[in-house]
Amino acid sequence: MTNHLSYFECHYQPGCFWVLSAEIDVAVQLLLKLKTDYKHLTGQDYKAGCPPPENVVNQDNGAATDGIDEEDNVDPWNVSTSNAKGVDYDKLIVRFGSSKIETELVDRIEKVTGQKPHRFLRRGIFFSHRDMHQVLDAYEKNKSFYLYTGRGPSSEAMHVGHLIPFIFTKWLQDVFDIPLVIQLTDDEKYLWKDLAIEECHRFAVENAKDIIACGFDVNKTFIFSDFDYMGSSPEFYRNVVKIQKHVTYNQVKGIFGFTDSDCIGKISFPAIQAAPSFSNSFPQIFGGRKDVQCLIPCAIDQDPYFRMTRDVAPRIGYPKPALLHSSFFPALQGAQTKMSASDANSSIFLTDTPKQIKNKINKHAFSGGKDTIEEHRKFGGNPDVDVSFMYLTFFLDDDEQLEKIKQDYSSGALLTGELKKILIETLQPMIAQHQERRKQVTEETVKQFMTPRPLNFKL
């Protein structure tokens, strides 16, 4: 791939890869090809964000008909690529029909909030969006919005990658001063995994503690387990059924790749993940208003759910949710895949000790360095594929320091062991502080966050 995007390159700084016109040209060409392929296949014009009509193979699913390389595969359950730098995010933007987060949008967020943009925005870690300009237009006219994000509680163990959307959502909550709902899809995990209902529900409560430890404001945040909240809220369930009535089996099959042997719980689940995008699913918060705009920060693999949501929204009289998409957090072994909570060595867990952090990084973090010190000094390392460097782009806030590390590593002045040491010394205190904050989260605190109640905000 010649048009590969270095998504960890700081796009907020001059000289970044994001604004190279050659890349934009390639993306535009791909988009054009996608559109013509689509028209050729369906006889209809391509419309971004709309699932194709029934009886047509869906383009958005990355199915074999999309006319683009088969290198990357992204849906909510599978993420893989054969490219060492990771998934090609420019290609995903084209394929999903979303918009790139350009410097202009980052600048605008800075202007509207009066705050320095979060490093995830400065560095293009949140790289794609839908309708964010519209949200800002409304916000500037004093029309506020709410945030919605979530997590599938598949185990007790969360790793640092799981924190990305929550760290960013916490920042959004602070700078915009708005309410937030967090869905814990214990039902989804029960349907997809070989787990008992009680286990999934327990994982939801345990994960809620790690989420709370990110620092959310209890007066502005409602965290809910689907098993608990769905069963207690008529308004939420009504929305689920409304959505179910307006999406066909053919459509979800196209979007999610369901087959005839998937249980019907899976087939109807997307409606449950869609429902929190509509404000009247939470009458205790929004007093029955159905028109409060929703903004969803999430990893790009969740986009299929929200393409479906945005497609049904106008048909059931609700505003479409806006989205901010993040790239994936790479596994220690390399950027080809997302981290897996079931492989202890693929990631740094929130429960790891300083020693475990050090050992894992030293032993398992894929290196872009050369085989010998002599060669490394002579030719330099490759930060684009180096997982320690990638992790620093996520967690080291100082732009200048990061840039210097990049230059020194590329020139060979900085050795792999030294780079790893910087990462270890960044993560050890960060994880220790997280553990300290999590310890402060009592059962009582969890109950507070998870009780349906009014929140404190002005719309």
**Interaction of residue 151 with ligand TRP, rule CB under 6 A:** yes
**Interaction of residue 221 with ligand TRP, rule CB under 6 A:** no
Q: Which stretch binds ligand TRP (CB under 6 A): 18-26, 38-46, 92-100, 149-157?
A: 149-157
**Interaction of residue 152 with ligand TRP, rule CB under 6 A:** yes
CB closer to ligand TRP out of 405 and 455: 455
CB closer to ligand TRP out of 203 and 409: 203
Q: Which stretch binds ligand TRP (CB under 6 A): 22-30, 82-90, 129-137, 181-189?
A: 181-189
Residues in contact with ligand TRP, counted by CB under 6 A, come to a total of 12
Please work out, in degrees rounded to the nearest 5, the angle formed at the alpha carbon of residue 335 by the alpha carbons of 331 and 336. Answer: 100
Footprint (CB under 6 A) of ligand TRP, residues 297-336: 298, 302
Distance, CA of 80 to CA of 82 (rounded, Å): 7
Distance, CA of 279 to CA of 239 (rounded, Å): 10
Smallest distance, ligand TRP to C-beta of residue 276, A: 7
Smallest distance, ligand TRP to C-beta of residue 425, A: 30
**Interaction of residue 185 with ligand TRP, rule CB under 6 A:** yes
Spatial contact of 50 and 60, defined as CB atoms under 8 Å apart: no
Distance, CA of 265 to CA of 267 (rounded, Å): 5
Distance, CA of 32 to CA of 46 (rounded, Å): 10
Spatial contact of 316 and 241, defined as CB atoms under 8 Å apart: no
**Interaction of residue 128 with ligand TRP, rule CB under 6 A:** no
Show Cβ contacts of residue 49 under 8 Å, excluding neighbours closer than 6 positions. Answer: 97, 98, 130, 307, 310, 311
Distance, CA of 454 to CA of 459 (rounded, Å): 13
CA 371 centroid distance within chain: 34
Footprint (CB under 6 A) of ligand TRP, residues 256-295: 273
Distance, CA of 309 to CA of 307 (rounded, Å): 5
Binding-site member from 51, 86, 150, 368 for ligand TRP (CB under 6 A): 150
Q: Which stretch binds ligand TRP (CB under 6 A): 15-23, 150-158, 330-338, 450-458?
A: 150-158
Q: Which stretch binds ligand TRP (CB under 6 A): 125-133, 182-190, 195-203, 236-244?
A: 182-190
Question: What phi and psi, each to the nearest 5 degrees, are found at residue 180?
Answer: -140, 135
Smallest distance, ligand TRP to C-beta of residue 211, A: 12
Q: Which stretch binds ligand TRP (CB under 6 A): 183-191, 199-207, 208-216, 367-375?
A: 183-191
Instruction: Say what the alpha-carbon torsion angle 415, 419, 422, 425 is, to the nearest 10 degrees.
Output: -100
Chain residues in the site for ligand TRP (CB under 6 A): 148-152, 183, 185, 188, 273, 296, 298, 302
